[in-house]
Structure 1
Amino acid sequence: MRLTNKKMKLVNRSAIATAALLALSGSAMGVAHAQEASGAPAPAGETAGDVQKVVVTARRREETLQDVPVSVTAFSADQLSKQGVPDVTALALALPNTTLKASRATNSTLTAFIRGVGQADPLAGFESGVGIYIDDIYLARPQAAVADIYDVERIEVLRGPQGTLYGRNTIGGAVKYVTRKLAAKPDVRLRTTVGNYGQVEGVATASTPISDTVRIGGTVARFKRDGFGKNLFTGAENYDKDVTALRLSAEFTPTPDLFIRIAGDGTQDDSSPKNGHRLIVGRTSGAPILSNEFDTRANLTKALGHDQEVTAHGVSALVEYRLNDQFTVKSITASRKDKSWAPIDFDSLQVVDMEVPALYKNEQFSQEFNLTYTGDRIAGVAGVYYIDAQAYNKFDTILAGAVPTSTFTSGDIGTKAWAAYIDGSYNFSDSLSLSLGGRYTVDKRTASIYRQIFLGAGGTPEMGNAAAIPFRTDTDLRSGLEREDKKFTPRVAVNYKLNADHNVYASYSEGFKGGGFDPRLNIVGTRIPLAEARRGYSPETIETVELGLKSSFNGGRITTNTALFHSDYQDVQIPGSIAIDTNGDGRDDSFAGVTTNAGKAKIRGFEFETVANLTRDFTLAGMYSYIDAEYKEYIVAGVNVASQRVFQNTPKNSANLRANYDIALPLMGHNGKISLIGSVSYKGATNQFETVSILDQESYKLYDASIVWTRADGKIRAGIHGKNLGDERYKTAGYLFPTLGNEGTLTAFYGNPRTVSATLEYRF
């Protein structure tokens, strides 16, 4: 794999940062029972006969999945490998009431919703309702969070409010990457993938002990693919992929009770701009709708003179010390940065009609200390957490019209938050346990927002056009924007084992997400009172009651996990953009952010997951979920319009059925087995925004299949993977501004078409 100069800079940045932390550490001195062969999510764990018990750390300590009174699904590295899962978004097909997808016009920004709670807007100031964690490190921003899957031990997805167990409070749920600890012996792993659309990928991982107490390792990965479509105007690829990733780590065990890990990682995305498919004919030009949903005619190729580019890198230090058999203390220190150059052509035409060249920059520092206790009857965790994050974006809105205009918008949002949390369980008996938890959070936001309109369609001085003519300043709030939100959120759960095979639990939990400021705020155009603008939008809260049953049958060969939940969602934060008339001529000539707090919503749902090891070689697994999410109070201009609003990215029905059949098959003189894996996934009708529109997606099905041969010792694996074999075209996001510009903007983005790939893995 050949690395360009830019990618070498990425490697060097991560290596230097890791080396610095290594030096610091030197001075200061780790759904059910299922077989690894099954088509079910199943991390390695304890075994009972030929059936494994899945072990998770959802409560910051190791427990079997069937024992933990939390809605959680886990995916092992082996399962991810066998099914050829490309990135985190693909997990959503097997997850109840979960949406994970790339945000509109991006390849690597994540939009995540769990049980109706999430955040679709990636701009500064808007925190996700679903937390993404890498080894307990919270990612404050969604940019670069669509992570390719490599170097993981397992991925856990928790549903419902999370606050008493994790450093950062997340109101909807959490996706938790758990990376592999370095092996005690030299370990080298290679993986290569080739596929249609010119897909060529390679992942190389190596680690080795350099003494009895020190191990080092690293992974370099390259993911490249041609586009699913073409830019018919520039000749460039559309929906292509060009990503380089790196991870370096060192682990120290100076004593049997002390573990230290220093890690650094970096990602660079040099994919082409991702442009949408127009759903309407050009209003002025009559430009027709293209036949291929992945083709475009967009003409915007650069932002501030830069090609599309996303870079992200971070360093972390974990120090874990076991005081005795009961107590363990842990320190988690992390720093991350990312930058995105994003030329976004809203109208997807070769003319300048509605274009938004943008720059996003984010950085964060976090520190967590926690103490875990494990006794005969009592177990729990207590900790403190601090995060200091800065999110900045600036962009132009370039619009054609009778009088072409360019609007410059910048938003710089600071977050400083600290929290103290505790969660513990007490076993009254072998059958009955009670869990209590609480969290006190203080979120402080500061903001600087500026918006200025210029005459002409060539962009603004801030984005490279020095000749632009100033017309009007609509927002100048570069100082004085500050708010602080405080909240205590409890959690209580009762867990009762009817017998060794049936575990019933009931829980009550509260979630909280602080208020903030819309970085696209337009005071003049939307006539927002200055006092209201300075207050910003309010925190949102949720109260969730859940009843669950986790059961095993036939010695653990069949398991079922069922959950019923009901949530009261208050002051729901609804970021949005609306077309506005800034000069009073009766024609929309710009757009602005309007963030509101919908007063009340009710969310009710049902989730069912099962794994059935029908024979030693044949496994069926499935999932079905239902959710009824509706607004009860949504005030617009003094009127409750709740009956006219819907929940976005929350299909009522979702289902998945997976089958795995293993056949003993020696190959090239080596014993092994071939696995035949197939799945069908169903997603119900999905709304893209809070109002019904042409961008909404009707229900659809996806069919996947894999044929995988694994050598008996696990050192070689070869597979062929087919995704979306029915070549379903389904919308995942879009832009809806039909009144803006001369042509109107109504563009949609789509999920991947049919892909076929072959993968070879080798472990030395």
Structure 2
Amino acid sequence: MNYRLAMLACTILAGAQPATAFAQTAGEEGASQGGIQDIVVTARRSEERLQDVPVAVTGYNQEQLAALDIQGFGDIGKTVPNLDVQRQFGSASAPQYYLRGVSTGTLKFEADAGIGLYIDGIYLGRPAGTAFDLADVERVEVLRGPQGTLFGRNSTGGAINFITAAPSGEFGVKAQGTVGNYDRYSGRITVNLPALGPFSARVSYLHDENRGYVDNLTPGRTFTFAEPFGTVTSAKTFGAENTDAFSAAVRFDGGAFTADYKFDYTDKVSTQLGQQLLGYDPSFTAGVGNPPFYTGAPGVFLPPSTTRRDALALDLTTASHLKIQGHSLTLAYDLSDDITIKSISGYRKLDEFVGGNDIDGGAYIVGGLPFTNISSIEDRHQKQFTQEVQLLGKMGNLDWVLGGFYFRETGRDNNPVFIGVLFPQGVTIVPRTTPTDGNTIDIFGVPSDYLAGADTSVRNKSIAGYAHLGYKTDAFEVAGGIRYTKDDRREVVRAAGLVPAFAPPGTYDVSFDHWDFDATATWIASSDIRAYARFATGYLSGGVLGGVEFRPETVKSYELGLKADLIDRTLRLNAAVFRSDRRNVQTLSFSASAGTFIISAPKARETGFELELTAQPSDNFSFNASYGYLDAKLADDPVAGPVASLAPKNTLSVGAQYDSPHFSNDSFLQFRVDGFLKDKRLSDPIVNAATASLTTLPSRFDINARLSLVDLPLGGTKAKISAWVQNLTNNKKLEFARNLSTNVIGNFQVPRTYGLDVGFEF
């Protein structure tokens, strides 16, 4: 409540100040001379118009981000073709991304993701910590298809880059407050400070909270575990969030030499959406002889249901506490008018106490003791350092980029998984690492609480060198690049699987290296129309998980694209067709008997089509649409059997915005509506006919709408007041499901939310 009052006070104070200077919006940067705005992107490591880049890329400026309510990585899947973002189980801070069929679904430090995620050009080693809000986002770029040359390993599906705002050097304040249903309270304030000689600075603060969407029938139950876990208390609701985020940017502009330092910090307390029991795996129930939680044992038991419940009984699901901080320093020196040397240094740190994760669908008491069919507790920490050096140059029709990259990461993840366990009361709960230590009481005959869990550390290193060369005339452009990458990975296993119950702890080291290439030919019909053909390779690092080595995943991609601004730049049409051939496809899965493990389909092929359309027939009306089609085929894993692609076959978004004529006070009404379609899709990578109906996600079409009064003179400044609604039709469909080889559990989407925004800018 103190945060809420502080933010509302900041908003009121901002509105009471006299108007001075208005900050430039991102949409003004690179604006065209009429018609549809140009978007600036850095898809080739230097700023260019999106329409000039021969890559399938979607870009958003600050105005578009606000209209779509995109504040972080978890929101980005709304309008990008062939991109799907889900909230999965296991962590409230672990969205799962699918881009052209490639996923970032792993929560394990031992395995990497196939989509490169970046903040201000700094690579994020752990996508499991990306469900956080950035306080001051200026623009977003989504590059589809392998980006193995310029963005490196682990971008077999593409790359997503968030760019935070730089200081303007002119005094300006922007503040916004939000109230909504489910006790939603949010506020943000950004202050641009006036330049002091060559120095300028910008600071932003964000607070966002809601009370959650599903009640817990068993709140306040307390369990005390041995360190590092401590005492945990079951949550009141599921889907709740309480976030504070801060960012700062400082720029030194010395003419030929510039230095940009950026800092972001997020402190987020949240709960998962709630693991609802959908059903049971019949092979498990037949083998364990009707365990107590099936027979109506004392406790709170809700029978399986595939319809979203407004209340669940999960007595071990607790709040998760995530802290993330990032530092970046970008130095650029112009050696001449055509040659620039650039250094990009980054340090990031992630600390997350996931807390208790109760996924058995009920709260049970057996013999007077709390019982869990399957649940876990987790404590995880990661830090990374990256250093990149680039030499960018131009000579006549030639331009080039030479670069070197270094990445080092360390992390520890302690995650026991309790299967068929009674928790002792009145004492500290000590997880069992062998059949005889610890004090949890086993019912199912599981030898330790780390059979399906793990206590491991990692140290990962990567070095790379790359070069990219382009030759451009008025009629055509050819470009190509090459990159060499070497990865060294180490896993230290203290407890996992049969370690240390029947096998000793161990340290495992593996190394891989790879060459990547890309080549593009572009035909420039005019300044507004161009077509391109692109070939690119990609590389997802191999590694070792539970002491078992797995091979790198590789991809070869073929793409044809068209980018066109038509009818006096009032119609923009971007299209691409593609085919990707992958080898040693890495997919992570989980079972109660094996824990997290790698499924390795020998090969996969994804073919598809993408279309993005923007129309602005008048100054008052605009329309946008995007469509993605994906046909994904994966070969069977030699051990696990059939492997399913979890990406939707069809994705569609449509949106329209109308700005009314201005009123006498120069304000105007703005109405926007957006619709988003996701096709029916699978949610479990291992094909299981007995539970497929439970783990198949239905198709859904969600509608968001916003009505705003813009540029309203108020208190010496101008205000924007918006009423908004998300999920207008109140869809309550299944968003994520998984067969855990015991229970089948799932998350349902967030119900209808609505609220009011009030913002000031001066």
TM-score (norm 1): 0.84
Distance 1:387 1:196, change over 3 A: same
> Conserved in 2, the CA contact under 8 Å of 1:43 and 1:55?
no
Deviation at 1:251, TM superposition (A): 1.3
Structure 1 unaligned segments of length 5 or more: list them. Answer: 5-35, 455-470, 522-532, 581-590, 740-744
SS at match of 2:129: coil
Q: Which amino acid aligns with 1:329?
A: I
* Distance in 2 of aligned mates of 1:82 and 1:762: 16
Name the counterpart of 2:230.
none
Name the counterpart of 1:512.
539
* Distance in 2 of aligned mates of 1:98 and 1:605: 12
Name the counterpart of 1:32.
none
> Conserved in 1, the CA contact under 8 Å of 2:193 and 2:202?
yes
Name the counterpart of 2:571.
558
The match for 1:61 among 43, 46, 66 is 46
Distance 1:202 1:230, change over 3 A: same
User: Is 1:724 the counterpart of 2:719 in the alignment?
Assistant: no
User: Is 1:402 the counterpart of 2:443 in the alignment?
Assistant: yes
User: Is 1:251 the counterpart of 2:264 in the alignment?
Assistant: no
Distance 1:477 1:256, change over 3 A: same
User: Is 1:387 the counterpart of 2:407 in the alignment?
Assistant: yes
Deviation at 1:125, TM superposition (A): 0.8
SS at match of 1:106: coil
Name the counterpart of 1:754.
752
Count of residue correspondences: 671
User: Is 1:238 the counterpart of 2:238 in the alignment?
Assistant: yes
* Distance in 1 of aligned mates of 2:138 and 2:28: 8
Matches within 5 A, 1:490-569: 490-518=517-545, 521=546, 533-534=547-548, 536-569=549-582
> Conserved in 2, the CA contact under 8 Å of 1:102 and 1:110?
yes
Deviation at 1:167, TM superposition (A): 5.6
User: Is 1:656 the counterpart of 2:653 in the alignment?
Assistant: yes
> Conserved in 1, the CA contact under 8 Å of 2:541 and 2:553?
yes
Name the counterpart of 2:140.
155
% identical aligned pairs = 26
Name the counterpart of 2:463.
418
> Conserved in 1, the CA contact under 8 Å of 2:493 and 2:506?
yes
* Distance in 2 of aligned mates of 1:568 and 1:655: 24
Q: Which amino acid aligns with 1:407?
A: D
Matches within 5 A, 1:173-322: 173-234=158-219, 236-253=236-253, 255-272=254-271, 274-280=273-279, 283-285=294-296, 287-289=302-304, 292-301=308-317, 308-322=320-334
Q: Which amino acid aligns with 2:443?
A: A
The match for 1:473 among 501, 508, 527 is 501
After superposition, give the CA deviation of every residue in 1:371-399 in whole Å (9 maximum; x if it has no partner): 11134311231110000001321111112
> Conserved in 2, the CA contact under 8 Å of 1:452 and 1:475?
no
Deviation at 1:138, TM superposition (A): 0.6
Name the counterpart of 1:468.
none
* Distance in 2 of aligned mates of 1:555 and 1:492: 31
Deviation at 1:502, TM superposition (A): 2.0
* Distance in 1 of aligned mates of 2:526 and 2:167: 38
CA-atom RMSD in angstroms? 2.5
Name the counterpart of 2:584.
571
Name the counterpart of 1:697.
697
TM-score (norm 2): 0.84
Matches within 5 A, 1:562-641: 562-580=575-593, 591-636=594-639, 641=641
Deviation at 1:475, TM superposition (A): 4.6
Deviates more, 1:712-721 or 1:75-84: 712-721
Q: Which amino acid aligns with 1:410?
A: D
After superposition, give the CA deviation of every residue in 1:722-747 in whole Å (9 maximum; x if it has no partner): 111111122232342253xxxxx221
SS at match of 1:636: coil
Deviation at 1:657, TM superposition (A): 1.0
Deviation at 1:609, TM superposition (A): 0.5
Deviates more, 1:405-414 or 1:194-203: 405-414
Deviation at 1:565, TM superposition (A): 0.3
Q: Which amino acid aligns with 1:56?
A: V
* Distance in 2 of aligned mates of 1:249 and 1:298: 42
Deviates more, 1:51-60 or 1:165-174: 165-174
SS at match of 2:127: coil
After superposition, give the CA deviation of every residue in 1:496-517 in whole Å (9 maximum; x if it has no partner): 0123332110000000011112
* Distance in 2 of aligned mates of 1:52 and 1:78: 11
> Conserved in 2, the CA contact under 8 Å of 1:276 and 1:294?
no
Matches within 5 A, 1:63-142: 63-142=48-127
Q: Which amino acid aligns with 2:294?
A: R
Deviation at 1:273, TM superposition (A): 5.1
Deviation at 1:3, TM superposition (A): 5.4
Deviation at 1:578, TM superposition (A): 2.5
After superposition, give the CA deviation of every residue in 1:549-582 in whole Å (9 maximum; x if it has no partner): 11121111101111000011101012222233xx
> Conserved in 2, the CA contact under 8 Å of 1:187 and 1:206?
yes
Name the counterpart of 1:733.
736
Deviates more, 1:123-132 or 1:347-356: 347-356
Q: Which amino acid aligns with 2:130?
A: A
